Structure 1
């Protein structure tokens, strides 16, 4: 197992003080500039980057993805969040439904949960047999080596949230009508089975932490710090370089040649604000 995983010991001990919003936004803005540079390098070189984000419900995967993608092109940075498998997909080779979403040249793909569902929710909730889960854990290293050997930069993060912080966040989802859609009956059952998930996570990390695609554990009780830590760490793992840009200058607009804005017959949106 990699040193990063060993050192974390899965205890979310963060510093006492939360990161202030002003400092957070300043650092995020700086990192967004670097993400744009990364995007230009990926397109220019035809690099293929695949990022896997895993963690319990409420660990902060969605906020992290937003922090990564909000200033880059969705044509380059694609987010994959697959629903439950269909009956047809259940009959396929397990990795088959994920493979069409892997990055092509010039793409960064972020998996919001991934093939590791088999080692987590499917195993804990009984959607697969223990034999199937163990077969998956045995197979993953070979599959991921093949992915990396095909030229994909594969980066895997486990977002580690404490039970107290998870409780606070899920209770907030219950109370906040903007977030109530995030809480499903499955999430509630997963919350109840904290230690079943802990054992499944430990087994998953121990058996799938490989040299070419190690697991990186992120302490995520402080969402802002976690996002900055992930983005800065992600950038440190990819050997991108600034790509030369042509100097841009706005051209002069053409002359109107008598054009006038017409009286609009369309329905206007009421200006209530």
Structure 2
């Protein structure tokens, strides 16, 4: 990233302030989804290391995991490979009052499977034909479908890969498939362009998130999502803490009878 680009990065304090405000709006949206029985699916796609995972974490951070689920499917099993391609994704679609965040989705077929040869040309052509129909059916059934593509330059992707390689806490994020993508940049670019040409439809359009600056990308993506969901404020039910009843004389066993977790925190304080 150039020095000029670095200077344009969103300041951390401004980012944190706006992120917290937007996350409050996400909680409002969640309550609307829950009370109205709406169904929301958000697809996160893009280049490796483009920041999809970080964006998903910020979206879901304050949401109820019983309402908002993150779905990141592993490679299909041998049985799933014999199913209709969309079948294993359908079972993860939301019921009334639920939100599903797809950390990658059925678009694997248009990206890594296409580029790496994990699907046949016939399977790929069938996918491009069926996807607009499949998504149109979802939308017609009332599902709110939002699709985000996180875009990052090859230079920034290279920098993030190198950073992960040197960080033992994040090295697990790198896979041989990720490294292979460095040598197939143009192949992935062509696959993405073909995918957009066939699946960027009026019913289910793609929204591109410029992700050179992760802070800007998260803010822009969340703000856009909120602007496209027709949620309104819903007054939460009024809750009153009950008075604790007086003791009935029950005596608990002494603490020494139980195995407690060692107080590692206190040892740090005392050191």
Report the equivalent of 2:227: 236
Larger RCO: 1 or 2 (CA < 8 Å, sep 6+): 1
* Counterpart residue number, 2:215: 224
Is 1:272 the counterpart of 2:264? The answer is: yes
2:120 counterpart of 1:129: yes
RMSD of Structure 2 on Structure 1 (CA):
1.5
SS in 2 for 1:269: coil
C-alpha deviation, 1:14, in angstroms: 6.3
Determine helix, strand or coil for the equivalent of 2:27. Answer: helix
Which residue of 1 is the match for residue 269 of structure 2? none
Task: Give, in whole Å, the separation in 2 of the partners of 1:135 and 1:253.
Answer: 63
Structure 1's unaligned 5+ residue stretches are 1-12
CA distance in 1, matches of 2:17, 2:249: 47
Which stretch has the larger CA shift, 143-152 or 243-252?
243-252
Deviation, structure 1 residue 245: 2.1
Superposed displacement of residue 192, structure 1: 1.6
Secondary structure of 1:98's aligned partner: helix
Distance of 1:214 and 1:129 partners within structure 2 = 26
* Partner of residue 13, structure 2: 22
Please state how far the C-alpha of 1:258 moved relative to its aligned partner. Answer: 4.0
Bigger Cα displacement from structure 2, 241-250 vs 131-140:
241-250
Matches within 5 A, 1:168-207: 168-207=159-198
Q: State how far apart, in whole Å, the 1-side matches of 2:221 and 2:58 are.
A: 10
Equivalent position SS for 2:91 = helix
Residue equivalent to 2:149: 158
Deviation at 1:18?
1.6
Tell me how far apart the structure 1 counterparts of residues 195 and 139 of structure 2 sit (CA, whole Å). 19
Picking from 99, 102, 105, the partner of 1:114 is 105
2: CA distance, partners of 1:192 / 1:211: 34
Residues 201/225 of structure 1: CA separation in 2 closer, same or farther (3 Å cut)? same
Distance 1:128 1:271 in 2: 53
Q: CA deviation at 1:260?
A: 5.4
TM-score with structure 2 setting the length: 0.92
Residues 35 and 68 in structure 1, CA contact (< 8 A), matched pair in contact too: yes
Aligned to 1:155, the other structure's residue is in SS state: strand
